[in-house]
A and B are shown apart, each in its own frame.
Chain A
């Protein structure tokens, strides 16, 4: 199965991925609504680069008590009519990339907008071991 992958050594911390994701999936430029989290900051130990992306582990699909998140052809789908806003998927997601919204959630649909925008190929869409 193919999914997003992050290569920290190539990341420049520009956040274009966050903007591309939020524009594509939420209709606004808002890094906090991106369905991935890329961090590139200087802390006391030096430069810290960390990436959290959906690797299609499907923990959310298993966790959702209402089957509101399903996997089909290597992509997640969110079914808003079934969601009861219990928040279990948000808490469960190992990379913590499900966006909690006032109504429902936002899951990564592997649209690859982030990877298409990434200027250094730090984000790629590639075969993951599943």
Chain B
């Protein structure tokens, strides 16, 4: 069946592991992935738990489509309470770990407690072992994966680097060297548990009724709906294609969001990536292969993705592809989230240039810039301050008006002064400033919707948040622009019960509301849903967005519209009526 009906629970404090049935009622209400991992955490975590304590839990969750021929189904959700924000945190990581976990026989792994010494978790079907990671601790994620491959053979591994070991709020979890569960310090949760890596090998399979008929239907959908002009940008360019779009629409973060265009953009755009492209790479079951494996000089990486080109390129004043690739590789190896790391370095650059605090690094200083990932992830020298991340740096050193974060999570690569709904998306994302919950830049800045009005933006953002919530619960990759109707069609064929688009939309809405309830329980409300003052008080001065800001009153209007349409009160709390309607 599409669900394995089995969850593995590993307690690192006791060293015991147990299995239990998947909660089928919850699976009906939340599908899997994002929704189901949040449901488990909502039910099992005590309010106010310290994210870096033994009481936090790490949930690895697959979905019903994981491990099958359904296109773009290779993702894994990894969730915990976030050390960066104190909110719920669910990340999505590609590669081959999620299907391998299902082939080993599990829908999910829930990791509890804390090991007294560094360990790694080895899962091979029914064999579950905690092994010493003494020889791995202190090593980068890349060498860790190589050593585990040497020792265990063809396993798939999730690993942390030095950033996770040192409990950085921007530490990610890595797999297959260049895939990340990137945001919110999910790698620090692993580090706090003394868990260096998780390796899995599964020999089982997934059996469904009429598998040949199902496969034929999926191949037709793959040809007619996945590998189409709407999606093939991922293969022909990948995310670097967004650099030119952002530049031309004035939303390319530049020098810590001081501008929306970058003179050196041609050095870091898709054409520049293509000049050093060696191969295209895909996650499991993905025909779109967005990933670009590049080599330049002595460095190589799968990437750099748009977010890295923007936040670690233009936003740091770095118009040098080889430098960005090397910075990217260093971040991946040390397991630093490039969005947060790029923002943090950019903030230090502006603080230095403005004379507020001297971090010894200025915009465009390639030599110093390339020392940053190692210094930050090991908390050495100036890196000890940058390791705090933007919010805590601003609390310590000042510069709060241009500390580019929401709820403690640094801002992705879309300037909201040229895409107002992006501002609302950042403000209302369930894990702080995130572009994956809703990405309205696609239809505003890059589309036909007026980016400079607050009208209709709440509805736009809510629709995307709910649709993505169900998409990331199944779990599909973001890069197939799949309709909710198509999701319903595929889930009906796979699970043998009728799904409708309307039902899926409710699952998405329920998921988003549950995430919000988790955050409410942690004390979050309207006061936390605001953007850095820079977006309101400073006008951009170049390109298409010259003269534009996102006025505070317009943001307030979008936020109030948003709460009203969500069925939340004016302070951003889920109403009793809405809870009843969603069975929460």
Let me know if A15 and B207 touch, CB within 8 A. Answer: no
> Nearest Cβ in chain A — how far from B236, in angstroms?
12
Let me know if A31 and B146 touch, CB within 8 A. Answer: no
Known: A20-B215, A27-B207, A30-B103. A13 touches B282 (CB 8 A): yes
Interface stretch of the complex, out of B75-83, B273-281, B378-386, B433-441: B273-281
Chain A residue nearest in CB terms to B203: A32
Alpha-carbon distance between A4 and B212 when the two chains are bound, in angstroms: 21
> Nearest Cβ in chain A — how far from B136, in angstroms?
16
In the assembled complex, A90 has its CB within 8 A of some CB on chain B = no
Contact among B178, B208, B219, B289 for A117, CB-based, below 8 A: B219
> Nearest Cβ in chain B — how far from A4, in angstroms?
17
> Nearest Cβ in chain A — how far from B305, in angstroms?
16
Contact among A23, A28, A30, A49 for B279, CB-based, below 8 A: A49
Let me know if B293 and A14 touch, CB within 8 A. Answer: no
A 22-38 binary contact with B (CB < 8 Å = 1; else 0): 11101111111100000
Let me know if A44 and B146 touch, CB within 8 A. Answer: yes
Alpha-carbon distance between A119 and B221 when the two chains are bound, in angstroms: 12
- A113 — which chain B residues lie within 8 A by C-beta? 215
Alpha-carbon distance between A12 and B206 when the two chains are bound, in angstroms: 23
Let me know if A23 and B69 touch, CB within 8 A. Answer: yes
- B208 — which chain A residues lie within 8 A by C-beta? 29
Alpha-carbon distance between A120 and B69 when the two chains are bound, in angstroms: 16
Q: Can you report 7 A-B residue pairs in the complex whose CB atoms are below 8 A from each other? A: A14-B283, A24-B215, A29-B211, A32-B103, A41-B176, A42-B302, A119-B287
In the assembled complex, A40 has its CB within 8 A of some CB on chain B = yes
> Nearest Cβ in chain A — how far from B4, in angstroms?
12
Contact among A12, A29, A42, A46 for B282, CB-based, below 8 A: A12
In the assembled complex, A43 has its CB within 8 A of some CB on chain B = yes
Let me know if B219 and A23 touch, CB within 8 A. Answer: no
In the assembled complex, A108 has its CB within 8 A of some CB on chain B = no
In the assembled complex, A61 has its CB within 8 A of some CB on chain B = no
Let me know if B282 and A24 touch, CB within 8 A. Answer: no
Q: Known contacts A16-B285, A29-B207, A29-B211; can you find 13 more A-B pairs with CB under 8 A? A: A13-B282, A14-B284, A14-B287, A14-B289, A20-B215, A23-B69, A26-B205, A28-B206, A28-B211, A29-B69, A32-B205, A42-B177, A47-B278
Known: A28-B211, A47-B279. A15 touches B205 (CB 8 A): no
Q: Which of A16, A41, A46, A116 has the most C-beta atoms of chain B within 10 angstroms of its own C-beta?
A: A16
Alpha-carbon distance between A43 and B278 when the two chains are bound, in angstroms: 15
- A40 — which chain B residues lie within 8 A by C-beta? 281
Let me know if A16 and B206 touch, CB within 8 A. Answer: no
Known: A14-B289, A40-B281, A46-B300. A20 touches B204 (CB 8 A): no
In the assembled complex, A19 has its CB within 8 A of some CB on chain B = yes
In the assembled complex, B149 has its CB within 8 A of some CB on chain A = yes
Contact among B149, B214, B282 for A14, CB-based, below 8 A: B282
Chain A residue nearest in CB terms to B293: A47
Chain B residue nearest in CB terms to A46: B300
Alpha-carbon distance between A23 and B285 when the two chains are bound, in angstroms: 13
> Nearest Cβ in chain A — how far from B145, in angstroms?
8
Q: How many interface residues does chain A have, given as a range?
A: 20 to 34
Chain B residue nearest in CB terms to A117: B219
- B300 — which chain A residues lie within 8 A by C-beta? 46
> Nearest Cβ in chain A — how far from B465, in angstroms?
29
Let me know if A28 and B282 touch, CB within 8 A. Answer: no
Let me know if B212 and A29 touch, CB within 8 A. Answer: no
- A46 — which chain B residues lie within 8 A by C-beta? 295, 300
> Nearest Cβ in chain B — how far from A25, in angstroms?
10
In the assembled complex, B423 has its CB within 8 A of some CB on chain A = no
In the assembled complex, B67 has its CB within 8 A of some CB on chain A = yes
- A12 — which chain B residues lie within 8 A by C-beta? 279-282, 286-287, 289
B 192-236 binary contact with A (CB < 8 Å = 1; else 0): 000000000001111110011011000100100001000000000
Chain A residue nearest in CB terms to B100: A31
- B211 — which chain A residues lie within 8 A by C-beta? 23, 27-29
Alpha-carbon distance between A116 and B68 when the two chains are bound, in angstroms: 16
In the assembled complex, B362 has its CB within 8 A of some CB on chain A = no
- A29 — which chain B residues lie within 8 A by C-beta? 67-69, 205-208, 211
In the assembled complex, B96 has its CB within 8 A of some CB on chain A = yes
Chain A to chain B: the 9 pairs with minimum beta-carbon distance, closest first: A30-B205, A119-B287, A28-B205, A12-B289, A12-B282, A14-B282, A29-B206, A28-B207, A42-B177
Alpha-carbon distance between A22 and B278 when the two chains are bound, in angstroms: 30
Let me know if B215 and A13 touch, CB within 8 A. Answer: no
- A33 — which chain B residues lie within 8 A by C-beta? 205
- B227 — which chain A residues lie within 8 A by C-beta? 119
Chain A residue nearest in CB terms to B226: A119
Let me know if A117 and B69 touch, CB within 8 A. Answer: yes
> Nearest Cβ in chain A — how far from B568, in angstroms?
41
